[in-house]
Chain A
Amino acid sequence: MIRHSKTQTCLIYGSALILALLLLLPVLWLFIMSISSTRDLTSLPLAWIPTEASFGNYRDLVSNLDSSAAQSFLYALRNSLIVALCATGLSLLASIPAAYSLSRLPGKRRRGLLFAAIVTFMMPPVAIVLPLYSLMATLGLLNSHFALIAIYCGILVPFTTWLLKSNFDAIPMDLDEAPIIDGANRLQVIWHITLPIAKPAVGAAALMAVLMAWDEFFYALLFTNDIRAKTLPVAIADFAAGRVADYGLISAAGIMATIPPVLLAYFLQKSLVSGLMSGSVKG
């Protein structure tokens, strides 16, 4: 065990505390805003602690289905879930075999492909958004889940492929050859051996992919225009775009929008536990 001096310990804990505050204070402030009244939020000087706490904003968002706020929030939640989960699922379906092939099979051209993948990932969205828009318009796909899922897959596949490839690289080659000698084909190797061993990596890739799709704003803003396809980031932005911005409502929607990814992270956390590799090869 490494021993630290008292100063070192203080510094480490101090830094950790500052980091925690930096991460948590905005969320805390968002929460305070969401339970404050409009009067508190607009008064000068600003009332940091609300005079009266109320969960009315949350009620407005989920229970009162006739209100336009609730409608746009709940539809957006549904759209976000559909788009993020489908895009993640499809991306993993494509990137798992792709990553396996890039990691395991021989061939010089594969390397080129890998770099092509990262180049598309690096490309700024503004560069391709116009041709994409006209393409989607021609196909009649604007304002649909399908358009967003397809675009997000384009973003996620290179990313998850890279992430998974570097993890598959760490699995010893013998663990590929042994099942083949045992009578497995490549797909069976992936299913029975590679995926269970790389479960933490797949979990991490899925989580990152969901978060990226969940938070994506630029394409969602441009390619959707009503509650049929608008996702949460766009819907929340809409709350701020009217003549009067209801900051309490916006904050409540923000808090609610973070709940699904946080839940997902909580459940995937179990699969993120690594250390599965111990004992497979050598001693």
Chain B
Amino acid sequence: MNSKVMDLKKIEVWDGNMAASQAFRQADVDVVAAYPITPSTPVVENYATFEANGYIDGEFVMVESEHAAMSACVGAAAAGGRVATATSSQGFALMVEVLYQAAGMRLPIVLAQVNRALAAPLNVNGDHSDMYLGRDSGWINISTFSPQEVYDLTLCAFKIAEHLDVRIPVNINQDGFMSSHTAQNIRTLDDKTACDFIGPYKAVNAMLDFSKPVTHGVQTEEDWHFEHKAKQHDAMMRSRKVIDEVFAEFKELTGREYKAVESYGMEDAEVAIVAFGTTYETAKIVVDRLKEEGIKAGIISPRVFRPFPLEDLSAQLQNVKAIACMDRSAPGGSVGALYNEISGALFNSPARPVLSNIIYGLGGRDMTVSTLTEIYKDLVKEAQSGKLNGTIQRFVGVRGPELNYYNA
């Protein structure tokens, strides 16, 4: 715990960026190395302000690029301490090389990622292009829907990443502006409770432990590379157990419950939307209204995007008749990633729902209650007829002629 305590009210008004900054501060991070980029800049600015006012005992290194930020994080983590950073979009793209290295070297770094579109055209608003870009990088990816969740799950992220059975970096995603710049009431933990929940950092193969010299970042070719990558995947798959445990521990402490797959209204749902981020919150409102109309609607989200909770999703979607998989990322010449993953989850199961892919919200285009209502109403028709209304993929909320692809 940092030596200077910040007195927090039980409920503070924070946006998602402040929630991430406060979680970093309470985690008593040893080294934060970062570079500012919209919309995650305030995470770094808030942290700098904490430091300037004596609330940070660790080192805060303002580097010259996001690539350098993640490089310094890797060096610092290998040296043997708690490390975190924040970024978005182009910055995340610049980091990608080192993200793979952080994961391959099994360094438990925490990244607060404020999701934003990828250029071109340049755009500072929220979509999930950057989250999708990093999905094979070997990081645990967790999706949040609100500033409260950013706070809670960033605290959990340190505990998950640093667990001795895990040692995998964790990326906590939140929607640019919709979460990062939207102030809400946040139920806080006091500094000691938060820091105790995470626990002390457990060093593994620390470069600053000179009793046991260690070589990080070796060369492996066809003789060993596959074994290393296989073990890395295995560790990721096994991390799910720890993620569930940490979520359970957090619930015990706060009463706030998190699950690898979040769902609302799914108990009896005949139509369902699968989506990440703040869209989940909007859909909850729509689900409530539709239930009043007698429509059995539900919303489901892989809170944990990696390791992908394939079995949980499949189990919860068995009785659904029509599903729209909503991807907030330009699919680049195929169906969206979420559509692919849900298809994969269901293919070996008995369920054969009508499955459509909606591309929406690129570059911060709003997904409103009324548009979601229309999507659900279309799903109802598909559930009744047992077949797609049109093509598998369609773009929703884009101006110009309709864009529909892939016939069933």
B partners with A: no
B residues with CB within 8 A of A: none
A residues with CB within 8 A of B: none
